[in-house]
Amino acid sequence: MRIAFIGAGSIFTPLALYTIANSEILSKAEIYLVDIDKERLEFIEAVGRKIGKVFKKELKIWTFQDIRELEDFGIDYAVISVEKERYKRWRLDFEVPHKYGIKQVLGENGGIGGLSHTLRVVPIVLDVAKKIEDINSDARVFIYSNPEPRVTYAVLNYTKLRNAYGLCTGYLERKETLAPLLRVKENQITFIAAGLNHFTWITELYIDGEESYEKLDSALERNPKFEPLSLLLYRAFGLFPSPSGNHIGEYLSFAWDLIPEEKKGLKWIERTKKEGEEVRKLLQLFLKGFVPKFAFNKFIKFPDIAMNIVEGLEGNKKLQEAINVPNKGYIDLSYGTVVEVPAEVSPKGIKPLKVKLTREVIPMLRTQAEIQKLSAEAAAEGNIEKVVQAVLLDPVVNNAESGLKAIAELIEINLDMLPQFSKEDAEEIRKMIKS
């Protein structure tokens, strides 16, 4: 079993290494850590070896700065979590549209910011995916890079990789927010949800295996100010959304005023950045021996999603509550849209499950499904017409001229990361406004 982590310096890798070390099935795997940043690579290697020592599983770890070096080793599974200058560019993705009066909640995965993000990340991930394809086109590939469903769509449609899946911790984050509300622990909650990544609807909710939507109703009556946007959608459409109000709000025109100040915009970006820095500090203390085994176990609430799925594929059958796959009738959206649904995982493979959503929530999802495809195709093809179409379809764009000016400016700002576009493309968008 050969598992490669590309972008190994990301915050996902330590949890994956912990999951491997605590699994009888995975602990004998060969682990290939790949990152172009030598300092991050050495740090994560040290963390991995320390985890192996603490949990008494000597992990087999190799490190590389170029994925092409893996041609002599081979890959069975690959985890992609790559990004470049994440927070610097994310701030711009939020600030530029906001300057033009477009009030997008986060600007990471939806709205003009999400489109700009897509245009930057898709080329990076496609480059990685094509190198994996050269090594083993049958490898199972798990993608954490945001905007995750758009990136996954691009990999599935512009490479020969057919076993690519998008993964997100959103459903776990929803459990974390619901647990104190329901007065239970996170691991007592399970649910069936479906839709698009960061925009799913819970059709069945369980606490310790018992149907618990009525308990949620009672809890919300006691907490009438819990996530105003999520509560409004629940009251209007009868299904509770996931993962959280500020993530769902990226796709809705009326979300801005319903999201608390501390959970949107630059405050949320800074908070997310700080949380990542705190995780790194914790890992530094762990390396120095200041974080004992029991404390580390307490800090880890859930296993890594990708490694949990690999464990299922290698012999430990399980239900994966959320995985992003191309739609083949799993929900009532167009064929090929990357949708988030539960799936059965076993040595026979990954079997996504059909989920029946109410007809009332489908129109919101359909609009975003088309934006998903257009933005991913625009990024992969360097197609400026599809960029414009994605802008004009977006519900968050309250003014066509403002939306087009914002994306034109973001293209110019990010040209060093947009090999598929030029300054002339940005000017072409501006000419469209003038005409």
Local structure of 190: helix, strand or coil: strand
pTM comes to 0.96
Is 296's pLDDT higher than 70? no
Is 300's pLDDT higher than 80? no
The pLDDT of 317-322, averaged and rounded, is 96
Query: Using 50, 70 and 90 to split pLDDT, how confident is the model at 11?
Result: confident
Is 226's pLDDT higher than 80? yes
User: Residue 53's pLDDT is what?
Assistant: 92
Query: Using 50, 70 and 90 to split pLDDT, how confident is the model at 299?
Result: low
The answer to whether position 339 is within a domain reads no
Residue (of 166, 178, 226, 168) closest to 202 by Cα position: 178
The answer to whether position 46 is within a domain reads yes
Q: Provide the residue range defining the domain that includes 80.
A: 2-84+112-166+267-299
Parallel, antiparallel, or unpaired: how do β-strands 77-80 and 2-6 relate?
Answer: parallel
Residue by residue, DSSP assigns 263-285 as GSHHHHHHHHHHHHHHHHHHHHH
Residue (of 417, 435, 412, 395) closest to 110 by Cα position: 395
pLDDT digits (tens, 9 = 90+) for 38-68: 999 999 999 999 999 998 888 999 999 999 9
The answer to whether position 205 is within a domain reads no
The answer to whether position 294 is within a domain reads yes
Mean pLDDT, all residues of the chain: 96
The answer to whether position 22 is within a domain reads yes
Phi, psi of 2 (to 5 degrees): -120, 115
pLDDT digits (tens, 9 = 90+) for 227-245: 999 999 999 999 999 999 9
Is 85's pLDDT higher than 70? yes
The pLDDT of 116-126, averaged and rounded, is 98
User: Residue 406's pLDDT is what?
Assistant: 98
pLDDT digits (tens, 9 = 90+) for 331-382: 999 999 999 999 999 999 999 999 999 999 999 999 999 999 999 999 999 9
User: Residue 295's pLDDT is what?
Assistant: 66
The pLDDT of 102-123, averaged and rounded, is 98
Please state which of the ranges 71-85, 166-180, 274-288 shows the lowest mean pLDDT. 274-288
The answer to whether position 107 is within a domain reads no
Residue 221: other Cβ atoms inside 10 A: 8
User: Residue 111's pLDDT is what?
Assistant: 97
User: Residue 17's pLDDT is what?
Assistant: 96
Q: How far is CA 407 from CA 268, 394, 429, in A?
A: 22, 12, 8
Length of the chain: 435
Q: b/e for 396-425, b at 16 or more Cβ within 10 A?
A: bbeeeebbbbbbbbbbbbbeeebebbeeeb
Is 301's pLDDT higher than 90? no
CA atoms of 404 and 389, how far apart (whole Å):
10
Give the total number of structural domains in the chain: 1
User: Residue 298's pLDDT is what?
Assistant: 65
CA atoms of 372 and 350, how far apart (whole Å):
23
User: Residue 289's pLDDT is what?
Assistant: 86
Largest CA distance in the chain: 68
User: Residue 319's pLDDT is what?
Assistant: 96
User: Residue 297's pLDDT is what?
Assistant: 67
The answer to whether position 304 is within a domain reads no
Is 5's pLDDT higher than 90? yes
The answer to whether position 64 is within a domain reads yes
Are the C-beta atoms of residues 269 and 251 closer than 8 Å to each other?
no
The pLDDT of 168-183, averaged and rounded, is 97
Percent of the chain with pLDDT over 70: 98
CATH label of the domain that carries residue 126: 3.40.50.720
Are the C-beta atoms of residues 132 and 414 closer than 8 Å to each other?
no
Q: At what angle do helices 111-135 and 362-381 cross, to 10 degrees?
A: 60
